[in-house]
Amino acid sequence: MPNQTITLYCLPCAGASAAIYFPWRRKAPHWLRIEPVELPGRGMRSGEPPIPDFERLTAQLTNELAEQLSGPFALCGHSFGALLAYGIAHGLCANRKQLPVALFVAGCSAPTFRDDTRLARLDNDDAIIDELRELRGTPSELFDHPELLRLTVALANADFSACRSFRRLSEMPLDLDIFVSGGLSDEVKLEGLYAWSLESSRRTDVTLFEGGHFFLREKEELFLADLFAKLAQFR
């Protein structure tokens, strides 16, 4: 059906909540519904313990998402969220559920190009705090509030643990388009972005933006314009 509404489910980066995607709702075209996905342990799910295992986390998110699917949808994730989106897509495929029209991954190396050495050192509070400072995606004032910082570090620790437990889910590529985006100043290597082509039997498109790991925030207007234009082709 032409001109139908598309739902975009958005997965957050490590330590973050679904709230980072709320501003996108005001900027989305009328035919696009932005649906931020909240992970256990944060936001409206703060009463639930975070899940530090990738397989268990994506299995739970896949089951929750499958129950609410209605009409065409896409998955979008940044950094750790990109891996979660990938895991959910494979989970839906394995369970013979409706597949997304496309997968959007930002600031994340492909499953065959993982940097396990970097992840291995993110196993203590000091290393995680240093990582959060270096990535420049955490509000600077948070580092002056010990209680808020403690909560953020605890969530990031669980997410990094889940990330360390990640394994490539299948040799079989997904039967959907994958759109990849990255920052020109990010530590994620270009080879890691282009390696996403191994995960799709269809089209893989790579778009680069000025900025670092949080380029989608630094260049939000350009990033969203590109995202919405790519989604429009699936209406």
Residue 89: what pLDDT? 97
The mean per-residue pLDDT over the stretch 173-199 comes to: 96
Query: In this predicted model, what pLDDT tens digit does every residue of 38-95 receive, in sequence order?
Result: 999 999 999 999 999 999 999 999 999 999 998 999 999 999 999 999 999 999 999 9
The pairs formed by 39-45 with CB atoms below 8 angstroms and a separation of 24 or more are 39/11, 39/12, 39/84, 39/159, 41/154, 41/155, 41/158, 42/16, 42/17, 42/18, 42/155, 43/17, 43/18, 43/19
Residue 133, helix vs strand vs coil: helix
Stated pTM of the model: 0.92
Residue 142: what pLDDT? 67
Domain range for residue 20?
6-232
In a domain, 1, yes or no: no
Residue 1 pLDDT level (bands cut at 50, 70, 90): very low
Q: Which two tokens stand for residue 189?
A: 């290597």
Residue 123: what pLDDT? 74
Residue % of the chain over a pLDDT of 90: 73
Residue 140: what pLDDT? 67
Instruction: Name the pairing type of β-strands 32-36 and 177-183.
Output: unpaired
In a domain, 182, yes or no: yes
* CATH number, position 177: 3.40.50.1820
Number of domains in the chain: 1
209 bridge partner residues: 183
- C-alpha dihedral over 65, 71, 76, 81, to 10 degrees? 0
Q: Is 59 exposed, middle or buried (0-12, 13-18, 19+ CB in 10 A)?
A: middle
In a domain, 26, yes or no: yes
In a domain, 64, yes or no: yes
Query: In this predicted model, what pLDDT tens digit does every residue of 112-127 receive, in sequence order?
Result: 998 777 776 777 877 7
In a domain, 116, yes or no: yes
